[in-house]
Amino acid sequence: MNIALVEYGAGNLPSVERALSRLGVESRRASTPQALAGCDALILPGVGHFGALMRSLGERSLVDPLREAVSRGTPLLGICLGLQAMFATSDEAPGDEGLAMFPQKVSALPPADRLPHMGWNQLRRARPSKLLEGVPQDAYFYFAHSYAALDAGEAGVAYCDHCASFVAVLEQKNIFATQFHPEKSGPVGAQVLSNFVRQAGAKG
């Protein structure tokens, strides 16, 4: 299987690569439209700033190829900022357009508790989830963020509560995303990545 990590000059690629390699899955990096076109599955990792991510993707002419790969049915996994990038806009960068795979927006979490939301938290399941298959209901995942999508319609399959209820796991057809970092979430995180790889294999 040919899994590509979208490389846009930031993000946490090495830790995702290591997590995949522990599962026995080889991945490569894709930083050009050509490299994106020829793969079985894509992962969009993300750390940092919504506007910076979208500008980096734009400078590398990766925005349309990403959208096209997804509309062809290529499985995509967004991680943290990679989840947020799938939305139309974000409070973090009001002028910048996201990938707009979902029409809703990413909001600043209200300061009702400590921010950034930093550390291990549990999920509230709303719908059956492929990514969470085999993961115990009370499992903890690692989060590090101050912005989040509060609503993703039917695509929101699991939520987390910190300052507000927000989307923690997103699934719609071949689009998958987690607000937490599966590559930093110990054995349950490895299970989530493994579930994505299995989905990717099923489609490929």
The catalytic residue positions are 80, 181, 183
How many residues touch another protein under the rule CB under 8 A: the total is: 38
60 near another protein, rule: CB under 8 A: no
What whole-number distance in Å separates Cα of residue 145 and Cα of residue 191?
22
In eight-state DSSP terms, residue 106 is E
Our CB check for another protein shows the closer of 15 and 172 to be 15
Furthest CA-CA distance within the chain: 45
Whether the CB-CB separation of 197 and 106 falls below 8 Å is answered with no
Q: Which of 39, 106, 117, 169 binds another protein (CB under 8 A)?
A: 117
Whether the link from the prior residue into 75 is cis, omega within 30° of 0, is no
CB of 72 to another protein, least distance (A): 32
Our CB check for another protein shows the closer of 114 and 203 to be 114
| Contact range with another protein by CB under 8 A, out of 1-9, 11-19, 24-32, 169-177 | 11-19
120 near another protein, rule: CB under 8 A: yes
**Which residue type, as a one-letter code, is found at position 31?**
S
Q: How many CB atoms lie within 10 A of CB 179?
A: 30
Q: Which of 35, 88, 108, 144 binds another protein (CB under 8 A)?
A: 144
15 near another protein, rule: CB under 8 A: yes
Contacts of range 55-59, beta carbons closer than 8 Å, 24 or more positions apart: 55/96, 56/8, 56/9, 56/10, 57/6, 57/8, 57/85, 57/99
CB of 17 to another protein, least distance (A): 11
31 near another protein, rule: CB under 8 A: no
Helices and strands (H, E) in the chain, number of each type: 6, 13
Q: Which residues bind another protein (CB under 8 A)?
A: 12, 14-15, 18-19, 22, 47-49, 111, 113-124, 140, 142, 144-146, 160-162, 181, 183-187, 189-190
